Amino acid sequence: MIAAGLISGCANDDNYNTPNLGCVDPGLTATKTVQQIIAMATGTPKLYEDDDIIEGYVTSSDEKGTFFKTISMQTLPETGAPVGFSIALNVSSTFAEGFTPGTKVYIKLKGLYYANVFNSLQIGALYQGNQIGRISENVWRQFIFPSCTRVNENDMVRTVTLAQAYNNANLNTLIEINDVRFADASVGRKYYDIDSGGGATNHFITSASTGGASNIIRFSSFAPFSGNRVPSGSGKIRGVMTKYNSDFQFIVRYESDIQLSGNRSFNFLGSFTENFESYVANQSNFPNYFNKPFVGTKVWNIKTTASKYLEMSSFGTPNEDNKTMFFVPVDMTAANTMTFKYKVSFPVTGHAPLKVYYTTNYTPGQDIRNAAIVDITSSFNIGTSQTFVNAGTFTIPANVTGNGFFIFEYTGSGLTNPRLTTNFGIDDIVVN
């Protein structure tokens, strides 16, 4: 999937300087509001034929390669709920042309085309007779005028929750999402992961306090920070909400938009029961557990029959090798034992997918190979029962103290012959 604003082709260069343009204000005045143009727009591009001008404030930036040949803009919150729109512009560096975040821009509409594209107003030239395309680099200055007025982006940004953020009303506007973290499967990967293919990578963010549903945050391969690792912390992320077809895609402008300085919190208890009934079907992000694929992309998730339980399988696309670990935090000093129930379905002969470990020196997000993990699989009686049965009890050694994790590791493959795709379910984890 390629989002507007993330098409590959721009220079992967971090040597940008704030442009010094000797600004001359265009001296224009808006004659229409953005809201009025939105009300006129349909899904079919239309030529604007009247001498009207609208104004907006830049929210995006291609300074760090995260946007490409498109400019997102919005009205100011002080004029009511801000509305966003975008302009398609065939300019390789709009930042160098003065389109910096907070800059007031005037748009002369006569001669341009406009349409409602993926639920947001888009303005540009006509492309292939039925689409909004980029305004030519030879003529854009006849239509688009950056002014000398610039507002602090803190006066433009709105703070929202994750549940509020992914909404058509926020498209092309600047928002800051509070109380978020990257989904477990993204932590420790690079912002741009070449294994995902294409010119950009979709990662996912979720609520730091409740886990649950996750939403796309997209990173271009051309961003100079694209090779950095996805952080494990929690906090807030600022950026511009975009949309491609039906997929919302949140895009940061700079790495500094990602402010995840809070610790990824876990509640280390010495006594608890986890029966997974508080979660929803297919949930894979959890407020107090860490669900990390170290090989492949598949993760443990919630399934439900008569009751809810945790399941992992290598079955299904993509066909890949899998090694995924589910980390359960425990106060090893206070706890004495751990037990769980298991079942298998669609078992493959010779496939023993589950191993169980404990560790007291692993920090989620780090390479598991740098941690000391102790294999305790042999302490359990793990067979091929297709109904839930007790796996047995592990007694924590007296010399194992402090905060740590029990780890349930699934290993399988959709590439081998035969495919090792046994479904393995876990329920009723009890620590006492």
> Which residue spans within 191-336 are E strands per DSSP?
200-207, 211-220, 234-244, 247-251, 258-262, 272-274, 290-295, 301-304, 308-312, 321-331
Domain with residue 228: its CATH number is 2.40.50
Residue 16 lies in a domain: no
pLDDT digits (tens, 9 = 90+) for 62-96: 999 999 999 999 999 876 789 999 999 999 999 99
Q: Round to whole Å and give the CA distance between 70 and 76.
A: 20
144 with 190, same domain: the answer is no
148 with 288, same domain: the answer is no
Residue 429: CB atoms within 10 Å: 22
359 with 212, same domain: the answer is no
Q: Round to whole Å and give the CA distance between 230 and 253.
A: 16
| Structural domain range at position 294 | 272-431
pLDDT digits (tens, 9 = 90+) for 99-144: 999 999 999 999 999 999 999 999 999 999 999 999 999 999 999 9
pLDDT digits (tens, 9 = 90+) for 268-286: 999 999 999 999 999 999 9
Percent of the chain with pLDDT strictly greater than 70: 94
240 with 287, same domain: the answer is no
Residue 26 lies in a domain: no
Percent of the chain with pLDDT strictly greater than 90: 88
Residue 314 lies in a domain: yes
pTM assigned to the model: 0.83
Indicate the range of 8-12, 111-115, 319-323 predicted with least confidence: 8-12
285 with 419, same domain: the answer is yes
Tokens of 81: 């709920």
371 with 398, same domain: the answer is yes
pLDDT of residue 18: 47
Q: How many domains does the chain have?
A: 3
Evaluate whether 203 touches 213 at the Cβ level (below 8 Å). no
Helix, strand, or coil (residue 412): strand
361 with 234, same domain: the answer is no
pLDDT of residue 7: 30
Whether residue 196 is predicted with pLDDT greater than 80 in this model: the reply is no
Residue 191 lies in a domain: yes
Which residue has tokens 């940061």? Answer: 252
Q: Round to whole Å and give the CA distance between 72 and 58.
A: 6
Residue 168 lies in a domain: yes
Q: Round to whole Å and give the CA distance between 124 and 247.
A: 22
pLDDT category of residue 21 using cuts at 50, 70 and 90: low
DSSP state of 414: S
141 with 227, same domain: the answer is no
Strand partners, 211: 207
298 with 373, same domain: the answer is yes
Helices (H), 14-168: 34-40, 162-165
Helix, strand, or coil (residue 302): strand
372 with 302, same domain: the answer is yes
Whether residue 4 is predicted with pLDDT greater than 50 in this model: the reply is no
Tokens of 326: 């589910």
Residue 8 lies in a domain: no
Q: Measuring CA to CA, which residue among 56, 46, 47, 49 is closest to residue 87?
A: 56
Helix, strand, or coil (residue 112): coil
405 with 315, same domain: the answer is yes
CA of 210: how far to CAs of 4, 108, 145, in Å?
31, 46, 45
pLDDT of residue 15: 36
148 with 87, same domain: the answer is yes
CA of 65: how far to CAs of 5, 15, 122, 181, 252, in Å?
9, 11, 21, 23, 10
Helix (H) or strand (E) run with residue 107 in it: strand 103-108
Strand partners, 217: 203, 250
Q: Round to whole Å and give the CA distance between 408 and 182.
A: 21
pLDDT of residue 366: 85
